[in-house]
């Protein structure tokens, strides 16, 4: 099975490579030390399996999966991390397995067995216990959002986002300066990771930053027209418009 190793720590990559070299079922075709490099190699080399670190500088392992081009067949993923607080999120990303550092060679072999047999525990089987772990380690709202622009990946400060519009299963992210980026992550998933005190859903396909510069115009049927820089007008549906009025106090 063609395999890619992603970890920002060289000793961790080297140890994993040494162990995998003893397993004839695995062919290591490359390694990456950051999220940006991982995305490039995944899309170019098309590995069947990724051993993916979660906590890396800049982009997390979860960010890597969120930004992968949906045109490519997704690889199987085994998360490898020293942090047990990410367990729930790992299985929500359909991980085949979750290795907690330091792991033994036998535990790694077990993970490979699961991948090859396509018999990884389902989220329904493991989530009850993992949610207990997750409750002990609540995740903060993100401050930077990895987004794509052509072949580049940008870590965007969420404070610079003006609004996000979902079109054809792609979210277009616009900044105060009218720059446009995109992410394949769903608007529902994105809304969960952004601070609700800063971001507000005005429509099922539109999310706005309440701290951005915009003008509000009452419109028909209780809806609102929101005018942003660059001549862009967004419509707040009637129910969200009522909640927005209450939130902003007008």
pLDDT tens, 158-185? Answer: 999 999 999 888 899 999 988 999 998 8
**Burial environment of residue 220 by CB neighbours within 10 A (0 to 12, 13 to 18, 19 or more):** exposed
148 and 179 Cβ atoms separated by less than 8 Å: no
- Shared-domain flag, residues 101 and 213: no
- Shared-domain flag, residues 72 and 183: no
Of 37 and 131, the structure prediction assigns the larger pLDDT to: 37
Give the model confidence (pLDDT) of 39-64 as tens digits. 999 989 999 999 999 889 888 888 88
How do beta strands 199-203 and 180-183 pair? unpaired
The 10 Å Cβ neighbour count of residue 224 is 19
- Shared-domain flag, residues 93 and 214: no
Question: Would you place residue 133 in the very low, low, confident or very high pLDDT band (cuts 50, 70, 90)?
Answer: very low
Number of domains in the chain: 2
- Shared-domain flag, residues 91 and 17: yes
Q: What is the pLDDT of residue 84?
A: 64
Give the model confidence (pLDDT) of 182-231 as tens digits. 998 889 989 988 999 999 999 999 999 999 999 999 998 899 999 998 89
Scanning the structure block, which residue is given the tokens 């720590």? 9
Question: 136, 169, 201: which is the final residue of a domain?
Answer: 136
Question: 102, 136, 170: which is the final residue of a domain?
Answer: 136
- Shared-domain flag, residues 34 and 116: yes
Question: Would you place residue 128 in the very low, low, confident or very high pLDDT band (cuts 50, 70, 90)?
Answer: very low
Q: What is the pLDDT of residue 118?
A: 67
Question: 136, 165, 197: which is the final residue of a domain?
Answer: 136
């Amino acid at each position: 099975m063609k395999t890619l190793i992603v970890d920002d720590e060289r000793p961790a990559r080297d140890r994993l490579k040494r162990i995998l070299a003893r397993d004839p079922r695995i062919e290591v075709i490359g390694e990456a030390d950051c999220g940006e490099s991982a995305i490039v190699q995944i899309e170019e080399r098309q590995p069947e399996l990724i051993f993916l670190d979660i906590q890396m500088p800049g982009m997390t392992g979860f960010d890597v999966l969120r930004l992968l081009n949906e045109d490519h067949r997704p690889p199987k993923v085994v998360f490898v991390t020293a942090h047990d607080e990410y367990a729930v999120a790992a299985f929500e990303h359909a991980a085949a397995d979750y290795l907690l550092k330091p792991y033994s060679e036998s535990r790694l072999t077990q993970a490979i067995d699961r991948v090859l047999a396509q018999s990884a525990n389902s989220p329904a089987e493991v989530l009850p216990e993992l949610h207990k772990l997750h409750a002990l380690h609540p995740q903060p709202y993100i401050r930077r959002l990895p987004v794509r622009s052509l072949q580049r990946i940008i870590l965007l400060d969420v404070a610079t986002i003006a609004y996000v519009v979902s079109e054809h299963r792609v979210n277009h992210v616009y900044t105060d300066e009218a720059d446009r980026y995109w992410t394949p992550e769903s608007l529902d998933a994105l809304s969960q990771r952004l601070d609700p005190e800063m971001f507000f859903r005005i429509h099922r396909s539109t999310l706005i930053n309440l701290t951005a510069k915009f003008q509000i115009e009452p419109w028909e049927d209780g809806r609102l027209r929101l005018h942003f820089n660059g001549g862009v007008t967004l419509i707040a549906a009637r129910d969200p418009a009522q909640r927005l009025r209450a939130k902003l106090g007008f």
